[in-house]
């Protein structure tokens, strides 16, 4: 919800005042909105956009060279008045006429039309292009009834570039209409938005569900469905937009398109990039060439959680205007000389060499893969709980990091085995993949641990219980050295050190590896539970130490779980490891 405000009735005015104060390089205030700070030396068509406030960067954030000349800014989610539109247009006018362009909403149409009539009555040439890109708001036979959503940006950009190039008003309006006719958008929402001072959102979506085709103020869409994965949402977006080809587009393959993936307020850029990854794959797969895509927030709705995809089918003229430079507070396109380049060879990793291995060691490498499969399995089953534990006093990413690391280690080990690697090389590949993909402290420590075990083995013999025990001891020392942690610091060391000691005791007593590992895993489990009574003295949890009292350390818990999963593999071996 929107939390920072003074008097809700003054929110829009105070927001605009702050926007202008922060954006003086581009804009200056005028009654009703903002216009470019600097007037062009030569008369050109002035492109005036606008709509209700609450959709930043639409509309004030899109004023500046290469984009709009002025923006009329209404109250929250309310059309600017005819007087506001007129005032902004008069301030932006340089003598070559005015193009008014905005999203297709009843209030906006009423007030912009009144302003246009007034301007024409004063002898100022003025035309209007209304944006109608939202495919969910009306069928293909009623496109004039469609809402204007994030496709606004394409129309504004193309029209403004045409004006910047010196085209007359009739041509600027023509290319703006062409851009609108070739633009389609489709959006979804997971939650509604809450206006300043309101005690509830404008609309709600049931938990676990997604509104399909909803407008940017919560206008009805075409239904609901379960919240999809990022890839599934991308597939819904792309399939919906490809169902309807605009007039003049006869085939998909070979076409060039502009693409905008727009966040509506609460969906973060990182999430949008995950979705766009799949969007780009799907468009490329059907033969579309994407030109200068935009991913981010362009038409928002306060804290609404949602996203939309916009697709514009370009021709040579539209592409030229789409790619033209722009410099505004919230949107920039730069044109820089492209330097010739050549592909550089991939980085060669020294350890990516498969050393000669005996059949015995290759069989042991296959068992390493089985162990890593068990590790990934137990991590995946407990990832959410590990994240919850970590979030008590940390950043909550332990489960995610462990999944990434274990998954990467398993993939690398499988790859190594498929190339004929022995046990030591397979462990090295797994170690480096874990450290690389998991990142963070945990990734580095697990990478060091696996490398220590690898160093205790070789690619000639089957690892003995003595080698494995020595490897675990070396891993313990490496983790304590790199992590600078000791017993009592509430880290994985509180589990690893007693586990290592117990494993050594069983090995020295002549137990099989499976037997000694079983007893050591029981020690690890007890040690992990005991970390609940400790206060963290290392890492991110240290400043919030008191919060973690009563909760075990996430790294200690994950290590204990892994020791038990590894034992299950050892115990299932038909022949006990010597």
Q: Does 576 score more than 50 pLDDT?
A: no
Q: What is the pLDDT of residue 468?
A: 96
Is pLDDT above 90 for 412?
yes
pLDDT above 70 for 350? no
Residues 6+ apart with CB under 8 A from 258: 154, 290, 291, 292, 293, 294, 310, 311, 312, 314, 318, 319, 322
Tell me the domain boundaries of the chain: 8-333, 359-572
- Catalytic (active-site) positions: 217
pLDDT at 578 over 50: no
Confidence of residue 346 (pLDDT cuts 50, 70, 90): very low
Question: For residue range 269-305, what is the model confidence (pLDDT) as tens digits?
Answer: 999 999 999 999 999 999 999 999 999 999 999 999 9
Whole-number average pLDDT of the chain:
91
Radius of gyration of the chain (CA): 31
Residue 483: predicted pLDDT: 86
Percent of the chain at pLDDT exceeding 70: 94
C-alpha–C-alpha distance, residues 34 and 56, integer Å: 14
Task: For residue range 91-137, list pLDDT tens digits in order.
Answer: 999 999 999 999 999 999 999 999 999 999 999 999 999 999 999 99
pLDDT tens profile 424-454: 999 999 999 998 888 778 888 999 999 999 9
Gap between the Cα atoms of 138 and 10, Å rounded: 35
Provide the pLDDT for residue 129: 98
What mean pLDDT is predicted for residues 479-490?
91
- Checking if the pLDDT of 82 tops 60, the result is yes
**63: which strand partners?**
68
CA distance 183 to 151: 6
The answer to whether residue 577 scores a pLDDT higher than 70 is no
The arithmetic mean of pLDDT across residues 380-393, rounded, is 88
- Residue 456 in this model has a pLDDT that exceeds 90: yes
Could you tell me the pLDDT band of residue 348, with boundaries at 50, 70 and 90? very low
Pairing of strands 209-212, 289-290: unpaired
Band of residue 184 on the pLDDT scale cut at 50, 70, 90: very high
Mean pLDDT across 29-54: 94
Identify the band that residue 340 occupies on the pLDDT scale cut at 50, 70 and 90: low
pLDDT at residue 335, rounded to an integer:
62
User: What whole-number distance in Å separates Cα of residue 294 and Cα of residue 315?
Assistant: 18
546 band by pLDDT with thresholds 50, 70 and 90? low
Predicted TM-score (pTM) of the model is 0.78
Contact (CB, 8 A) for 359 and 542: no
Q: What phi-psi label fits residue 537: left (phi over 0), alpha (psi between -120 and 50 degrees) or beta?
A: alpha
Q: What is the pLDDT of residues 189-215, one digit of tens each?
A: 999 888 998 888 888 889 999 999 988
Greater model confidence, 398 or 184? 184
Q: Which residues of 91-123 are buried (b: 16+ CB within 10 A; e: fewer)?
A: bbbbebbbbbbbbbbeebeebbeebbebbeeee
Give me the phi and psi of 68, to 5 degrees please.
-65, 155
- For the domain with range 8-333, which CATH number is right: 3.40.50.10440, 3.40.50.1100, 1.10.390.10, 1.10.150.120? 3.40.50.10440
> 463 pLDDT exceeds 60?
yes
User: What pLDDT band is residue 393 in, cutting at 50, 70 and 90?
Assistant: low
What is the per-residue pLDDT for 538?
59
DSSP output for 257-281: EEEEEEE-SSS-HHHHHHHHHHHHH
Residue 29 has pLDDT above 90, yes or no: yes
Domain 359-572 is of which CATH architecture? Alpha Horseshoe (1.25)
């Amino acid at each position: 919800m929107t939390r920072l405000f003074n008097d809700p009735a003054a929110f829009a005015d105070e927001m605009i005042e702050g926007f202008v104060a922060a954006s003086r390089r581009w804009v200056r205030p005028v009654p009703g909105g903002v216009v470019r700070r600097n007037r062009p030396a030569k008369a050109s068509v002035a492109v005036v956009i606008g709509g209700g406030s609450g959709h930043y960067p639409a509309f004030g954030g899109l004023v500046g060279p290469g984009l709009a000349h002025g923006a009329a800014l209404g109250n929250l989610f309310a059309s600017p008045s005819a007087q506001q539109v007129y005032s902004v247009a008069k301030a932006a006018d340089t003598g070559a006429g005015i193009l008014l362009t905005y999203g297709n909403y009843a209030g906006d149409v009423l007030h912009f039309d009144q302003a246009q009539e007034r301007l024409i009555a004063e002898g100022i040439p003025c035309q209007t292009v209304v944006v109608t890109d939202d495919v969910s708001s009306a069928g293909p036979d009623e496109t004039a009834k469609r809402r204007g959503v994030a496709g606004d940006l394409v129309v504004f950009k193309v029209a403004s570039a045409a004006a910047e190039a010196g085209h007359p008003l009739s041509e600027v309006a023509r290319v703006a209409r062409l851009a609108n006719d070739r633009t389609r958008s489709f959006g979804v929402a997971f939650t509604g938005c809450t206006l300043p001072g309101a005690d509830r959102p404008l609309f709600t979506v049931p938990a676990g569900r997604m509104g399909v085709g909803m407008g940017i103020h919560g206008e009805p869409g075409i239904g609901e469905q379960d919240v999809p994965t990022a890839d599934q949402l991308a597939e819904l977006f792309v399939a919906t937009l490809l169902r309807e080809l605009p007039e003049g587009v006869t085939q998909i393959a070979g076409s060039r398109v502009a693409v905008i993936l727009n966040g509506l307020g609460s969906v973060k850029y990182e999430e949008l990039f995950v979705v766009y990854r799949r969007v780009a794959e799907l468009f490329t797969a059907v033969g579309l060439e994407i030109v200068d895509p935009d991913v981010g927030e362009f038409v928002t709705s306060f804290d609404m959680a949602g996203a939309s995809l916009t697709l514009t089918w370009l021709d040579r003229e539209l592409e030229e205007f789409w790619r033209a430079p722009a410099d505004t507070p919230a949107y920039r396109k730069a044109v820089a000389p492209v330097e010739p380049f050549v592909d550089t060879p991939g980085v060669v990793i020294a350890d990516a060499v498969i050393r000669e291995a005996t059949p015995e060691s290759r069989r042991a490498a296959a068992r390493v893969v089985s162990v890593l499969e068990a590790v990934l399995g137990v991590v995946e089953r407990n990832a959410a709980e590990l994240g919850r534990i970590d979030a008590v006093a940390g950043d909550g990413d332990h489960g995610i990091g462990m999944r990434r690391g274990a998954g990467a280690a398993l993939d690398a080990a499988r790859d190594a085995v498929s190339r004929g690697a022995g046990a030591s090389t397979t462990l090295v590949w797994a170690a480096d993949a874990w450290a690389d993909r998991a990142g963070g402290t945990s990734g580095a420590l697990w990478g060091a641990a696996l490398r220590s075990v690898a160093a205790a083995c070789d690619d000639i013999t089957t690892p003995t219980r003595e080698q494995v025990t020595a490897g675990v001891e070396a891993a313990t020392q490496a983790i304590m050295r790199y992590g600078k942690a000791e017993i009592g610091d509430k880290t994985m060391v509180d589990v690893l050190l007693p586990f290592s000691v117990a494993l050594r005791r069983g090995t020295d007593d002549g137990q099989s590896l499976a037997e000694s590992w079983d007893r050591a895993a029981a020690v690890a489990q007890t040690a992990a539970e005991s970390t609940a009574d400790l206060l963290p003295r290392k890492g991110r949890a240290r400043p919030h130490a008191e919060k973690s009292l009563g909760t075990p350390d996430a790294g200690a818990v994950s290590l204990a779980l892994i020791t038990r999963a590894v034992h299950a593999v050892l115990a299932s071996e038909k022949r006990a490891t010597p």
